[in-house]
């Protein structure tokens, strides 16, 4: 059992709503997980009230004056690597793991949760052995689902049917109240981070790839960095990741691992959406980077990104980034075997045009 589930930190009413909508499997492992989730949900509900009482007016009056920088792109494209590099910039800040676990009350209770999380959470991510710490940068999607926002991850934790849970996902949120809740939660989370740090936020969230238009509407002047990677690496790595996450965190039986063609189809949809959306981006608000190029020369790659987005690249940042790269020089990526048949399927789904565009020959 994972002592820190991806839904840990969710308030009681939101957790109850998730379980009521989706149901769950009654088995000993899940019951123990649910007991821990409910215990923590009650605590989060109390702590959220305390934080609202102490900080609600300050949060409400905090403007997001520096438009966020969004790292977008499909899972397993190297977005975590890029996020960690930008997180070393002293003028930037990122949503941290502890902030995404307790988005309702991190202003008040981070100091209490960090020591507990250090003892209970694994030292590395299960899918790729990247080091984990409560203060490391993390995807804000995990905060949004805990705050009660609509998210496709709900179908990962509560699998239904025999389709890949991202099949047909186009990023569109249900109009009306669900869309307003999503906007309110995104703004609330970023206002709180801004209140705490006063810095420009750099976010990494693959699902934001399909929401770029919406994010540009909410945050005028927002910048986007699209990172790509060869599909022969992305597709098998994504399959491995989702199977590991589902095994560890699904609360309902019925998970079916995605197939090569399904993941490749979603990757193509993400790439196509970026190509459509970038046409609406003003000059200086969008750039792209290939992981293969960034990995070869991270400092030059980030310098180019900053120049194209009109961001200040300081000597202090370069020194911090170089130190991070040096500290992690022994890290080794996972390797994946892809058969000729799987390569053919991937290429057919992605399409020759995109293979040529991104230099994947």
Q: What domains does the chain contain, in order, with CATH numbers?
A: 12-357 (3.40.50.300)
3-state secondary structure of 69: strand
- Residue 287's pLDDT is 97
- Residue 30's pLDDT is 84
Beta carbons of 325 and 298 less than 8 angstroms apart = yes
Please state, in angstroms and as integers, the Cα–Cα distance from residue 109 to each residue in 46, 114, 116, 123, 215, following that order. 11, 9, 11, 22, 28
- How confident is the chain (361 residues) per 10-residue block, as mean pLDDT? 79 95 84 92 97 96 96 96 97 97 97 92 77 92 96 91 85 81 96 98 97 95 97 96 92 91 96 92 93 96 97 97 90 81 96 94 77
- Residue 5's pLDDT is 86
Reported as type and span, the H/E element at residue 15 is: helix 12-22
Residues sharing a CB contact under 8 Å with residue 346, sequence separation 6 or more, in sequence order: 231, 232, 235, 260, 261, 264, 338
- Residue 2's pLDDT is 56
Q: CA-CA distance, 356 to 361, in Å (whole number)?
A: 7
**Nearest C-alpha neighbor of 142 from the set 240, 5, 36, 254:** 5
**Nearest C-alpha neighbor of 235 from the set 145, 155, 318, 334:** 334
- Residue 29's pLDDT is 75
pTM reported for the whole predicted model: 0.94
Q: CA-CA distance, 334 to 19, in Å (whole number)?
A: 35
Tokens coding 350: 């992605």
Q: CA-CA distance, 156 to 277, in Å (whole number)?
A: 27
- Residue 198's pLDDT is 96
- Residue 307's pLDDT is 97
Bridge partner residues of 137 (DSSP): 96
- Residue 3's pLDDT is 60
């Amino acid at each position: 059992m994972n002592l820190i589930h991806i839904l840990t930190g969710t308030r009681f009413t939101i957790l109850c709503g998730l379980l009521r909508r989706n149901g769950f499997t009654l088995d000993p492992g899940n019951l123990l997980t649910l007991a821990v989730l409910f215990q923590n949900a009650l605590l989060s509900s109390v702590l959220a009230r305390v934080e609202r009482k102490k900080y609600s007016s300050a949060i409400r009056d905090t403007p997001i004056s520096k438009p966020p920088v969004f790292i977008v792109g499909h899972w397993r494209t190297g977005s975590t690597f890029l996020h960690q590099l930008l997180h070393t910039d002293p003028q930037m800040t990122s949503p941290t793991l502890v902030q995404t676990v307790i988005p309702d009350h991190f202003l008040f209770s981070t100091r209490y949760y960090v020591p507990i999380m250090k003892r209970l959470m694994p030292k590395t991510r299960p899918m790729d052995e990247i080091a984990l710490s409560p203060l490391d940068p993390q995807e804000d999607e995990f905060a949004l689902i805990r705050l009660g926002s609509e998210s496709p991850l709900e179908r990962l934790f509560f699998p239904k049917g025999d389709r890949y849970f991202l099949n047909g996902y186009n990023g569109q949120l249900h109009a009306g109240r669900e869309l307003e809740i999503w906007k309110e939660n995104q703004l609330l989370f970023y206002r709180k981070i801004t209140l705490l740090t006063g810095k420009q936020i750099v976010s990494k969230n693959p699902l934001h790839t399909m929401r770029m238009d919406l994010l540009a509407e909410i945050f005028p002047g927002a910048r986007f960095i699209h990172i790509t990677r060869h599909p022969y690496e992305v597709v098998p790595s994504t399959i491995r990741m989702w199977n590991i996450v589902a095994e560890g965190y699904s609360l309902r039986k019925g998970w079916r691992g995605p197939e090569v063609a399904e993941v490749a189809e979603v990757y193509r949809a993400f790439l196509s959406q970026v190509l459509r959306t970038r046409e609406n981006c003003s000059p200086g608000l969008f750039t792209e980077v290939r992981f293969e190029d960034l990995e070869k020369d991270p400092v030059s790659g980030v310098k180019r990104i900053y120049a194209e987005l009109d961001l200040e690249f300081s000597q202090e940042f370069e020194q911090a980034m170089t130190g991070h790269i040096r500290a992690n020089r022994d890290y080794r990526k996972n390797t994946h075997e892809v058969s000729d048949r799987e390569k053919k399927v991937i290429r057919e789904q992605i399409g020759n045009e995109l293979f040529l565009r991104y230099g994947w020959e």
